[in-house]
């Protein structure tokens, strides 16, 4: 290792899809029993402020696999990721002698996700408001003996376990194993139409019993008229502006936590397989997620938001040379995974990366001022350009502040939250602290020319939509009417087509 210790022979990375990082430490960890997350905390390190670089699957994974911010990967939506031939950290590790193995959800190259997903993202500047998701709901399945609810994830976990027990144990070279899980992502809701929305929180009594209902916090909501305009658009398109009883909200949150408990058990299978084969003592285990889950905070479910539930991810590391029972308060993000993996493998780290190695923090050492790139910055950046949000969004997180700005920085009001005083992000203090806003905006603009990026995304969206429309020919009206927004669109199809035509006729 560059920072002392012996060369680590094995390395394992586990990914989950929709993990709220606040469940990995107090007080969030009081709501559900996560024994293997707790094992990693007891024998390893937990990052208290780890963030996604884009709170949606494909753009987030593109950042994690490339080590580059989203405006550099140009992964603008859930369809547009990295080019298939992009050199990831795993490719480099393989080139330097590591045996590499991947199972489960990868989702970092272009070409996945539904037509709806793309069209909703492309048309976010159109002057209409349509529900794009099914109403969030819960579904209890099976009985108290029903353990394997998310069968596809369990199959991939079994494959990884068998690979550890049958292959990894016999390898003469170091290995890196990646397991991508879909849980605790909500399940499809077939009634929602084309490719379904994913608005069903599904679990069994076995997992629901792991949840402490009394500890579940019912989030406070602003009235619809008081909501930030971007939040209102998100809440409406996610079908969350209707009435919800406290019991409905509590159940959605409980079922989400139960889905997290099932995910934790999959992590446990991997840890147990490593322990049973004697590999755990020479393996680094990393557990993280591509984004969080709002679970009805801010009158929303799902991700696509810079609020903590959506953007704050779990990040735990366990293994040789990693300090035990360490809690790291520094802000870090998923672009840091790339240089960290290379650092572990003693592979030279490219200088063009957006991220910084986590190894100095994991070893409990001060940042190395002599590193070619200088010390780690005191901020992290997240950005979002996809569906359910009608403006490009940029978040800078530093110290106690979270600064969120939109589009060109002027046409939509920015948000500023003091997370030490207001952890639930209920009070926007941007008007109260204009000097802080100017200071944080200056830092943000030094990292990304965000008005220019927002403009590029708008042009990209229009270009893509025109190309898609032309490809459909006479089928266009029928296809666009029957996407996920069909329940609203079919009430007034001409009105919505006219709104699109008006948008297409507007030049910038």
Q: Is 57 a catalytic residue?
A: yes
Positive/negative CA dihedral, 300, 57, 138, 309 = negative
Task: Please say whether the beta carbons of 108 and 62 come within 8 A.
Answer: yes
Burial string for 424-446 (b: 16+ CB within 10 Å, else e) reads: ebeebebeeeeebbeebbeebbe
Q: Tell me the C-alpha distance between 57 and 24, whole Å.
A: 20
Q: Tell me the C-alpha distance between 22 and 313, whole Å.
A: 7
Tell me how many degrees the CA angle 244-250-256 measures, rounded to the nearest 5: 110
Number of neighbouring beta carbons within 10 Å of residue 139: 11
Q: Tell me the C-alpha distance between 175 and 181, whole Å.
A: 20
Q: What is the DSSP letter of 132?
A: -
User: What's the start-to-end Cα distance of the chain, in Å?
Assistant: 52
Nearest to 163 by CA among 177, 151, 153: 177
Question: In sequence order, what are the beta bridge partners of 49?
Answer: 331
- Those residues whose C-beta lies under 8 Å from the C-beta of residue 182, and which sit 6 or more positions away, are 17, 104, 105, 150, 152, 153
- Those residues whose C-beta lies under 8 Å from the C-beta of residue 89, and which sit 6 or more positions away, are 65, 67, 337, 338, 341, 342
Phi and psi (nearest 5°) for 332? -135, 170
Q: Tell me the C-alpha distance between 90 and 73, whole Å.
A: 17
Q: Tell me the C-alpha distance between 143 and 178, whole Å.
A: 31
- Within 13 Å of residue 503, how many CA atoms lie on the same side as its CB? 20
Nearest to 16 by CA among 182, 166, 216, 240: 182
Q: Tell me the C-alpha distance between 423 and 113, whole Å.
A: 33
HEC states along 151-191? HHHHHHHHHHHHHHHHCHHHCCCCEEEEEECCCCCCEEEHH
Active-site residue, from 57, 58, 240, 260 = 57
**Residues designated as active site:** 57
């Amino acid at each position: 290792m560059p920072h002392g210790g012996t060369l680590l022979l094995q390395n394992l990375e586990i990914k989950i899809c929709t993990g709220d990082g606040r469940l990995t430490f107090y007080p969030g960890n009081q709501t559900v029993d996560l024994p293997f997350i707790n094992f990693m905390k007891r024998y390893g390190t937990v990052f208290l402020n780890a963030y996604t670089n884009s709170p949606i699957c494909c753009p987030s994974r593109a950042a994690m696999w490339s080590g580059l911010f989203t405006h550099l990967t140009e992964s603008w939506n859930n369809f547009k990721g990295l080019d298939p031939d992009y050199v990831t950290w795993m490719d480099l590790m393989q080139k330097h002698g590591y045996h590499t193995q991947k199972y489960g959800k990868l989702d970092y190259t272009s070409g996945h996700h539904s037509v709806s997903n793309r069209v909703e993202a492309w048309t976010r500047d159109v002057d209409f408001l349509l529900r794009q998701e099914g109403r969030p709901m819960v579904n209890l399945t099976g009985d108290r003996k029903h353990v394997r609810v998310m069968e596809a994830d369990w199959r991939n976990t079994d494959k990884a376990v068998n690979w550890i027990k049958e292959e990894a144990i016999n390898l003469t070279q170091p290995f890196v194993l990646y397991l991508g899980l879909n849980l605790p992502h909500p399940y499809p809701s077939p009634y929602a139409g084309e490719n379904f929305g994913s608005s069903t929180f599904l679990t069994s009594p076995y997992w629901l019993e792991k949840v402490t209902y009394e500890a579940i916090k019912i989030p406070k909501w602003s009235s619809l008229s008081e909501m930030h305009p971007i939040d209102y658009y998100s809440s409406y398109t996610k079908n969350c502006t209707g009435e919800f009883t406290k019991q409905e909200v509590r159940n959605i949150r409980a079922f989400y936590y139960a889905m997290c408990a099932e995910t934790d058990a999959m992590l446990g299978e991997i840890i147990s397989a490593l322990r049973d084969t004697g590999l755990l003592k020479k393996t680094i285990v990393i557990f993280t997620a591509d984004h969080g889950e709002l679970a009805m905070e801010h009158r929303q479910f799902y991700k696509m938001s810079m609020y903590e539930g959506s953007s704050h991810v779990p990040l735990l590391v366990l293994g040789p040379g990693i300090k035990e029972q360490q809690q790291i308060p520094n802000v870090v993000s998923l672009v840091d995974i790339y240089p960290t993996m290379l650092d572990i493998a003693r592979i030279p780290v490219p200088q063009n990366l957006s991220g910084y190695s986590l190894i100095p923090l994991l070893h409990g050492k001060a940042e190395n001022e002599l590193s070619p790139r200088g010390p780690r910055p005191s901020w992290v950046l997240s950005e979002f350009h996809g569906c359910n949000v009608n403006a490009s969004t940029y978040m800078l997180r530093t110290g106690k502040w979270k600064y969120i700005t939109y589009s060109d920085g002027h046409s939509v009001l920015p948000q500023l939250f003091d997370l030490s005083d207001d952890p639930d992000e209920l009070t926007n203090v941007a008007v109260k602290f204009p000097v802080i806003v100017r200071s944080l905006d200056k830092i943000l603009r030094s990292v990304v020319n965000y008005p220019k990026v927002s403009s590029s995304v708008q042009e990209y969206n229009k270009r893509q939509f025109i190309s898609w429309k032309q490809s459909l020919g006479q089928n266009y009206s029928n296809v666009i009417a029957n996407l996920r927004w069909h329940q609203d669109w079919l009430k007034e199809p001409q009105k919505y087509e006219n709104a699109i035509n008006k948008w297409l006729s507007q030049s910038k």
